Amino acid sequence: MTSSLAENLKSKIEHEILMFNFKPGDRLDEVRLAERYGSSRTPVREALRLLAAEALVQIRPHRGAIVAGLSVTELIEMFEMMAIYEGVCARLAARHATPRDIAVMYEAHEECRKHADADDYEAYCIANVRFHERIYFASRNSHLIKQTIGTRNRIAAYRRFQLRRHNRLKESFTEHEYVLEAIKKGDGEAADRLMYEHISVQTARTASLITNLPPGYFAEANPASDRLDQEPDDNRPFPHAALGFE
C-alpha cells in the first residue's frame, strides 16, 4: 500500500517539478508535502527517494531534500544530447512506426496546432510533451526511450522557459510538421536531421541566453568553471531569477 502511495506521490511531485512549480534549489519539506497531498510522511519520504534515483531531487544528509539544479555546463550538454536522442528516436520511428502510430502522432500534432493558434503557452507545452513522446514510443527501442525521457525530464523546465522567451510556439509547430512528414514517408535520415535541428534551436538559444547574462553574475564561483572546453567541476544550480523564472 505504501509503495503505491509513494509512486502516486512521486508522480505528483515530479509533475510539479517539470511544470516548474517547484524550482531547482527549492526545499522539499516532508511535513509540508504530506499536508499538501493529504498523506503521511513515510510515503512522501519514499517518493523523494524515488525522485532522487532519477536525479530530479537531491537528498542532503541531515538537511533534507531539494529540487536538483544543473550547472550551466550540464544544461548545455544535456540539450546537446537531447538533440541526438530525439533525432535517433525520429529516425527509428520512420523505420518502425505503424499506421496507428502515425495517426496518433498526427492527433498530438493537431492538439499542438490548436494551442499554437490560440497562443496558449501552458497548453502548448503539455501538448508538445505528448507529441514528442509519441515519436519516442514509435522508435520501438526501450533503452533509447528511457534515456530520452530521463534527459527530457532533467531539462524540461528550461525547455518550457525557452519556448516562452523566444515566442517559438508557431515555429515549433511548423518544425514538428516537417519531422512528421519525414516519418510518414519512412525517410529516417531526414527525420533524424529535422528533429536534431528542431532541438538544436533550443540549445543554441539557451546557450546565447546564458552567454548574455550580466557581467559578474557568476562571481560566487570560479569564472572558468563553466567553460565548455574544460572538465566541469561546478554543481551550482542554474540561475533562474535572472532569466525571469521567479
Does 172 map to a domain?
A: yes
Range among 64-78, 179-193, 199-213 rated most confident: 179-193
Does 219 map to a domain?
A: no
Give 138-175 pLDDT, tens digit per residue.
999 999 999 999 999 888 877 776 666 556 788 999 99
Does 227 map to a domain?
A: no
CATH value at residue 52:
1.10.10.10
Domain count of the fold of the chain: 2
Would you state the cell numbers that stand for residue 219, as one nine-digit string? 562571481
Give 42-63 pLDDT, tens digit per residue.
999 999 999 998 888 999 888 8
Q: Are residues 37 and 119 in the same domain?
A: no
CB of 52 within 8 A of CB of 17?
no
Distance CA 50, CA 37 (A): 17
Q: How many CB atoms lie within 10 A of CB 224?
A: 11
pLDDT computed for residue 244 by the predictor? 30
Does 237 map to a domain?
A: no
pLDDT computed for residue 233 by the predictor? 41
Percent of the chain scoring above 70 in pLDDT: 78
Give the CA distances from residue 24 to residues 68, 69, 241, in Å, rounded to whole numbers and listed in that order: 5, 5, 11
Q: Are residues 63 and 32 in the same domain?
A: yes
Angle between helices 169-185 and 121-138 (to 10 degrees): 20
Q: Are residues 51 and 99 in the same domain?
A: no
Q: Strand 64-67 and strand 27-28: pairing?
A: antiparallel
Q: What's the pTM?
A: 0.72
pLDDT computed for residue 17 by the predictor? 85
Q: Are residues 19 and 108 in the same domain?
A: no
Range of the domain at 173: 72-211
